[in-house]
Amino acid sequence: MDDKTIDWRTKLTPEAFKVCCEKGTERAFTGAFWDHSEVGTYYCVCCDTPLFRSDTKFDAGCGWPSFFEPLRDEVIREAKDTSHGMVRVEVMCDNCGAHLGHVFPDGPPPTGLRYCINSVSLTFHN
């Protein structure tokens, strides 16, 4: 995480800390937002930056919230991830550096992208 002055262990749940600060992953089909369908905006759990609109969310069948585009390109930072013997593209909140999940090139039109995001890295507001 970028902001070293915040004690993230006191601000986040243990699972959110593991995901956002230690680049962990929540178990599929267990997060609060994998099948969430309310209209609104998803925000970074760490810094409250708006990240995704509900009208870009889709059911990818993977067990994690999936979006075909971020609210704005500038809110997401990408980095090559070679952990676990795979080559993937990690996505992070550009404001605070929190690990959000990964982006894959198998999403629907118009972008063809699937931002596969951990629920614990998000909050939601209508």
Q: Are 62 and 103 in contact (CB under 8 A)?
A: no
Nearest residue to 64 via CA among 32, 89, 90, 41: 32
**Cα torsion angle, 18, 37, 107, 2, sign:** negative
Catalytic residue among 20, 44, 96, 116: 116
Q: Coil, strand or helix: which one is 75?
A: helix
Terminal Cα distance for the chain, rounded: 27
Q: Has 93 been annotated as catalytic?
A: no
Active site residues: 116
